Structure 1
């Protein structure tokens, strides 16, 4: 490996510099969050190796923008991306980095990453590929942070040093010209998917241990290469973890650690919460508390201002559909399957089976009817108390069967329940995972009849 600086053309540097700076970072008052991600589903029907964007007010429940379609697509290299990362730059704008890899073939060597700039999340500009090294290895899962001691950004990524998988680092002032790579973190075993959070001048590195499939957090007072000490025991939900993501809430009093299931067939986000980032006390966050974007994989989250959230929503648009999340089985969502309504675990195939347009009630505009997104013109309706997905035949009976009235959740008033329009003593609920309408008289039934209207 040579020690020369790796750089793009002067034209690309000029393009990057042409981005109009936003307000200085110190002037930002963050009140919301942005997430970037790519998409995969078990049977690959919803795969998208491009940049996706979501927003959240609470950092836990997410609205995918642009109808969960890409907001930017790589046009060079492999033509696809994985593992996107977003950070606020010192000029107040944003940088987006991503692995240059399309699909699920992981034996490719690639010395480049994708990079975009964004002033305010309404456009992603200055697209370029930046070379990080000249080694016969990959450049996966780039993350970055500002290092004031160097007056530069540190770009940390996964690579193989010929002995094992480690983290490397390059330093840059513009995400165009990169320093020579250095070894950043090598604990003596294979690691993957590093994510660095700087909080109160202390540096925290979340990573995956490839030997045990668990997530860990290490700490450094300087953020310098080879300065981290692991401070947590292994964290895992499900069969194994990857893609750790450390987030400080906008209040600065709560911290979240997100992680993906490592299997595309079980592409689920899990989360932990702590009030002590420097400690070893992370509690599992109940899936009732959060909802990730549909089919999202290996995300990154950055706090943003209310104006940036509003601008992104205005530019890209909120979803024109919803999902219904079960209260007592929060890993399951209302979907149709073989013409019947039921709740099934996410992820599911095809993912669009769980998407609904909540339209004015067919029999009463004050109510609501659930129209299938992937079978437009078909609605959830009850017949002999069982709930089906049927085509609207235009009859009065169908309109009444397909109309429900939304009320405060019977098990939790912050959620929702749905009373039948024409059998008003019965509510939409699941029983053995199948949807039906029933009278509600027990705590179990109230939980069965409670849903979160989400995205």
Structure 2
């Protein structure tokens, strides 16, 4: 069922947002259904639900995590990337959390009932929480969806106006022995109708994601053999969807998410590599009905640290600000390379370098960017997991050394932020005591060098993210 290979199937869900040409996704139109959650005219920000895993499972946590974003691209984890609530029934863990704003404006959170990666664990239930503001979670329970000897993976829901009910879709194995998308209908997420097959093309499919009512057509994207594929129908009736799109993937990819730009005709399709060290990727299309996609530049988006199988819901600025006030912003940052946007600054064996995300210990890439030790108008990079140590240059190479309290160390560890040498929206860091030199990577190792060529400028340009 699930081996981690491109043909393996396992639970997944993520809903991510994108933009075109650097234009952020802000408020959505009032009548557009975004994936399975309806956007509203006042929306100007986003909340993401996810769980965490990392390459060695150092950061494996199966509680509900939240992050927020103003533009749907650059995400800020809340509560220091710790869970805000954790299941207390069933497996005592969750995967694939999904947030839906209901018709009354409150929220419901759904999630797979599964702790870890025991794919043989069978639960006919999904986790459910209610919330008025995503700061408090009430009414926790598990909702039973069926009596079959199979799972209930990757739940999400959407409003079916023709029925006056919410459709709750999820992945389960049918009588023929392959995964299909099932559906139950509910008005309250406490009780639900009996299960029906919503989509069965005759082969394994999981991770259904909906875009409802787009020019009179409904779209369902799903995972097939490690690729993302779309189906469509002019109704929301079970059995009415027909596959039509060109498959996309980045290695083994799962959990498709459809998002409409509010500033253009562009649509975005998001997916996640489904190993424990999952990475989000995105594709763009100017015509959802065409079913063809172009890969989006990784410079445009950064997922929350170690996030997996996420769900995203548009929110208002007030909800955004209240979430940050409640849960707090991270006290650390990560630093992303401009010309290798899949790589982040980290220390390894006390050497500063850029390495492909993700890796463990993931804490090697977390930095407290503090006032400069030699000049408070500059900055110094204090290690999170070795807080007595700072990045400093020594013989022009960056090292992670303990602060010995000397003036020389303070100057070596101080840098000045400037507009990015390759892109002014990014950042470059000029050495305090060798001001003709900037931090750059060379052979993926960090050093300070004079900058002369376009390659030098790209090597010396970074983005401060979470």
Distance (whole Å) between structure 2 residues aligned to residue 218 and residue 279 of structure 1: 11
1:13 maps to none
Alignment of structure 1 residues 216-255 onto 2, 5 Å: 216-237=229-250, 239-251=251-263, 253-255=265-267
Distance (whole Å) between structure 1 residues aligned to residue 377 and residue 146 of structure 2: 61
Query: Match of 1:44, SS?
Result: coil
When the two structures are superposed, what TM-score results if normalisation uses the length of structure 2?
0.90
Distance (whole Å) between structure 2 residues aligned to residue 104 and residue 389 of structure 1: 35
Distance (whole Å) between structure 1 residues aligned to residue 430 and residue 94 of structure 2: 44
Alignment partner for residue 447 of structure 1, among 443, 458, 461?
458
Report whether the alignment pairs 1:286 with 2:286: no
Q: Is the 8 A contact 2:39 2:314 kept in 1?
A: no
Report whether the alignment pairs 1:262 with 2:277: no
Count residues with an aligned counterpart: 429
1:112 maps to 125
User: Relative to structure 1, is the Cα distance of residues 95 and 202 closer, same or farther in structure 2, using a 3 angstrom cutoff?
Assistant: farther
1:206 maps to 221
Of 223-232 and 141-150, deviating more is: 223-232
Distance (whole Å) between structure 2 residues aligned to residue 447 and residue 313 of structure 1: 33
Report whether the alignment pairs 1:395 with 2:406: yes
**Deviations 1:131-182 (Å, cap 9, x if unpaired)?**
0000000000001100001100000000001321101100000110110000
Alignment partner for residue 303 of structure 1, among 290, 314, 319?
314
Report whether the alignment pairs 1:196 with 2:210: yes
Distance (whole Å) between structure 2 residues aligned to residue 427 and residue 292 of structure 1: 27
User: Relative to structure 1, is the Cα distance of residues 252 and 133 closer, same or farther in structure 2, using a 3 angstrom cutoff?
Assistant: farther
Deviation at 1:203, TM superposition (A): 2.0
Report whether the alignment pairs 1:41 with 2:65: no
Query: Match of 2:95, SS?
Result: strand
1:167 maps to 181
Bigger relative contact order, structure 1 or 2 (CA pairs below 8 A, ≥6 apart): 2
Deviation at 1:248, TM superposition (A): 2.4
Alignment of structure 1 residues 134-149 onto 2, 5 Å: 134-149=147-162
User: Relative to structure 1, is the Cα distance of residues 146 and 252 closer, same or farther in structure 2, using a 3 angstrom cutoff?
Assistant: farther
Deviation at 1:251, TM superposition (A): 4.2
Alignment of structure 1 residues 8-407 onto 2, 5 Å: 29-163=42-176, 164-200=178-214, 202-210=217-225, 213-237=226-250, 239-251=251-263, 253-264=265-276, 266-407=277-418
Deviation at 1:254, TM superposition (A): 3.1
Distance (whole Å) between structure 2 residues aligned to residue 276 and residue 117 of structure 1: 35
**Deviations 1:160-212 (Å, cap 9, x if unpaired)?**
013211011000001101100000000111011111122445321110003xx
When the two structures are superposed, what TM-score results if normalisation uses the length of structure 1?
0.92
Distance (whole Å) between structure 2 residues aligned to residue 257 and residue 312 of structure 1: 26
1:11 maps to none
Q: Is the 8 A contact 1:82 1:98 kept in 2?
A: yes
